[in-house]
Structures are given as structure tokens and as C-alpha cells.
Amino acid sequence: MPFKLPAAKINWTNSIFLSGIALASLTVVPYHIWSQGIDLFQIVLFFCFFIATGLSITLGYHRLFAHKAFKAKWPVRLATLLFGAATFENCVLAWTSDHRRHHKHVDHEEDPYDISKGFWYAHIGWILFKKAPEPPWDNVLDLKKDKLVMFQSNYYLPIALIVSFGLPAAIGWLWAGASGALTAFLVSGVLRILAVQQMTFFINSLCHTLGNRPYSSNCSARDSWFMAFFTFGEGYHNYHHEFQHDYRNGVKWWQWDPTKWTIWTLEKLGMASDLRRVSDEKIIAAQLNEARRRVKNALANTALNLSDKREEMMRAAEVRLDELAERWGELKDHYSSRAEELRSSAAELTEEKIEAAREAFDEIRREVRATLSLLDEIPAAA
């Protein structure tokens, strides 16, 4: 649907700042680099600030504060609050409030960046216009008990200016004097803000537009390995919306999720704890249910004009998925009852029995993957 708002509702502060950052990044920064050049130190500095501020959003703002997917010691919380502010994506209270409402009302009117209002609106339009009325921060009462969060909220703007512009300029000055400070200000400050912000904005727009939905088609969120590569692992968005409190977005070992790896590393270093994970059983059950729904919908939709071969393939997949779902349920019931028995006699919990249980679940996983591979030619959820 077309998105139109009167000029009176434009958020001029956000609009001017974001437009200025974009304009400077596309004109002033390239001209400065072309005329003055740029050395390896400045390039490395840009990536250091890009990673520090980008991870502060994905690891800090998103998975730590918004979803409480893990706990972190105060140095980690403080670092993500400081460098998170340097993205100019608002204080963590406002960011989290918006994000929690997004998950609660995804694809509906109350969703702050509702994709049904159009790609541009979900990407950036929602930031450029005032909300009427402004929604209350009544869904972040838990964060208001955190003194570091309140410190950032109270001093958000000076923190953002100092860390985003002052710190890189100071480092650039130490490296090469005034010219180094200006280059760092433009490259690690201005250009880096644009890059990190667009990374976040694309999660709200592209990851609700492009990709697949292997876990649930109940909302528009999609998994995209391509977007995951540019967003520190946030591109596996369908998984995230189905299991939002998991500290992982890329749940498979081979999926690109630097945020997950960083959280795991912090745990090993004693700086993070209580990492929340969804069980393999729930993940496989979600995949099975979604795959069965896709097959049944495809078979019921006569408008697809399926060839005999494709229809035969889908009916075979339907039967196989039903069989796997039944076996999966029986397997869960069996090992749930065995777990109760083993609790009463810990001595029975031998390595052989543990390995037998693991092999049974692995067998189901392999069969699920094999069956899901048959669905490549089946029309995905719209």
C-alpha cells in the first residue's frame, strides 16, 4: 500500500541527520579519499569501529537487552551501550521498546516497522516520521532497573557524539595529526554510521521480503544467508522470529553468525552466562510442521497446474513427512518416559544409553533433512 504522511508529521531531527549522513557519505567522503588518499591504518580503523558498533547492536541491543538471550558482566554491557550509542540508532530503551513491539505485533498496525506498509517504510520511513501518539516505554520496565542502561539513556547524545566522532578523530590525530583526524572523522565516523545503520535497516526490510521460511510462515520474516553475511548473522530472521530468545540466529554450525560465536567466546572467557538455546526437538518439530503445511497447501492449490511428476513427488513427500512426524512424536514420548526412569536411578544413565538416544535423534534429523530436500521444487510460502 502507498505510504503518505503530511509534512507536519515529518521528524525533522531524524530526517536531517540521516539525510546529512547519507549525503556526506556519498559526496564529501569519496572526494576526501580521492583528493587526500587513505592509508591502511584508516581502513583498519574503519573496520574496527564497524565491528565494535555493529556487534553492539546485534549482540548488545538485540540479543542481550531486547531478548535477554544471555546474561553478561558489566564490562560487556557497558561496552555495548557505549558503542551502541555510536550508531545513532537511539538509546537502548527506545530501541528495545520498538523491537519488542515489532515481535509482538509483527506485520500488523502496531508493528513500528510494519513491512505491509511497504519496503521503504519498513527500511527507513518509520524513522523519518513522528509517531502519533508516541508509544510508551512500558515494555522495558526490566531494563529501567539496570543502572548502566539508565546512564546511557540519560546521556545518550553526548555518548553518541564522543564515541562516534570524537574517539575516531582522536585516534586519527595520534596517527597523523590534523589530516588523520579529519579522515578518521569522515571514514570511521560518518561513513561507518551509514554502513551500520543500513545493516540494521535491511533486517527490517529485506529480511521481511527476500529469503525462505523453513520454520514458520506465520509472519513475513525470512532466512537469508546473504543478509546474514552483512549483518553479523542477523539474516536468519525466520528462525529468530520463531525462536526469538535463542542466543543463536544461525542455528546450524555452518551458518554465518559472528554474533553467536562472539557470545559463545564471551561465555568461555567468563564474561557471559546463561546462554539460552532452543532444543533440537523443538527446531525439528517446527521444520516438520512447516514442511507439511507447505506440501498440503501446494496440493490443495489447483491453480498451480502441477505436472503429474511434481504432484507425485509432493504426495510422496507428504506421506514421508507424516511418517516422520509420527516417529518423531513416538521418539520424544519414549525418551521422556525413559528420562523419568533414569532420574530415579542415576546409575543406569550409562554412556551407551546416552549414545543410543543421541543416535536415534540423529537418525530422525537425517531423515528430516533428506525429506526436506525433496521440497526444493515445491512452491514456497508466499
pLDDT in tens, 39-86: 999 999 999 999 999 999 999 999 999 999 999 999 999 999 999 999
Tell me, letter by letter, the H, E, C secondary structure of the chain: CCCCCCHHHECHHHHHHHHHHHHHHHCHHHHHHHHHCCCHHHHHHHHHHHHHHHHHHHHHHHHHHHCCCCEECHHHHHHHHHHHHCCCCCCHHHHHHHHHHHHHCCCCCCCCCCHHHCHHHHHHHHHHECCCCCCCCCCCCCHHHCHHHHHHHHCHHHHHHHHHHHHHHHHHHHHHHHHHHHHHHHHHHHHHHHHHHHHHHHHHHHHHCCCECCCCCCCCCCECHHHHHHCCCCCEHHHHHHCCCCCCCCCCCCCCCHHHHHHHHHHHCCCEECCCCCCHHHHHHHHHHHHHHHHHHHHHCHHHCCCHHHHHHHHHHHHHHHHHHHHHHHHHHHHHHHHHHHHHCHHHCCHHHHHHHHHHHHHHHHHHHHHHHHHHHCCCCC
* Mean pLDDT in residue range 350-360: 61
Cα 370 to chain centroid distance, Å, stands at: 27
**Lowest mean pLDDT segment, chosen from 49-53, 63-67, 224-228, 358-362:** 358-362
pLDDT at residue 354 is higher than 80: no
Say what the pTM is: 0.84
Q: Regarding predicted confidence, which is higher, 74 or 376?
A: 74
C-alpha cell of residue 198: 543500513
Average per-residue pLDDT in the chain? Answer: 85
Are the C-beta atoms of residues 235 and 90 closer than 8 Å to each other?
no
Cα Rg of the chain, angstroms:
24
Q: How much is the pLDDT for 146?
A: 97
**What is the arithmetic mean of pLDDT over 175-204?**
97
Would you state the cell numbers that stand for residue 227, as one nine-digit string? 543478509
Q: Which of 130-134, 206-210, 363-367 has the highest mean pLDDT?
A: 206-210
What is residue 347's predicted lDDT score, i.e. its pLDDT? 47
Taking 90 as the threshold, does the pLDDT of residue 280 lie above it? no
Domain residue ranges of the chain, discontinuous segments joined by +:
7-273, 280-377
Q: Which of 133-137, 186-190, 362-366 shows the highest mean pLDDT?
A: 186-190
pLDDT of residue 244: 95
What average pLDDT score do residues 100-125 get?
A: 94
Whose cell is 556526506? That residue is 24
What is the identity of the amino acid at 351? E
Average of pLDDT values for 245-255?
Answer: 93
pLDDT at 88 over 80: yes
Does 275 have pLDDT greater than 90? yes
Q: What is the mean pLDDT of residues 16-28?
A: 97
User: What is the reported pLDDT for 111?
Assistant: 94
Q: Which of 38-42, 143-147, 182-186, 276-280 has the lowest mean pLDDT?
A: 276-280
Q: Is 345 exposed, middle or buried, given 0-12, 13-18 or 19+ CB atoms closer than 10 A?
A: exposed
pLDDT tens for each residue of 298-351: 666 654 555 555 555 556 666 666 666 666 666 666 555 555 555 555 445 455
pLDDT at 7 over 90: no
pLDDT confidence of residue 92: 98
Q: Average the pLDDT over each of 168-172, 250-254, 321-325 and give the range with the smallest value.
A: 321-325
Share of the chain above pLDDT 70, in %: 75
Q: What is the pLDDT of residue 301?
A: 64
User: For residue 136, what pLDDT is reported?
Assistant: 86
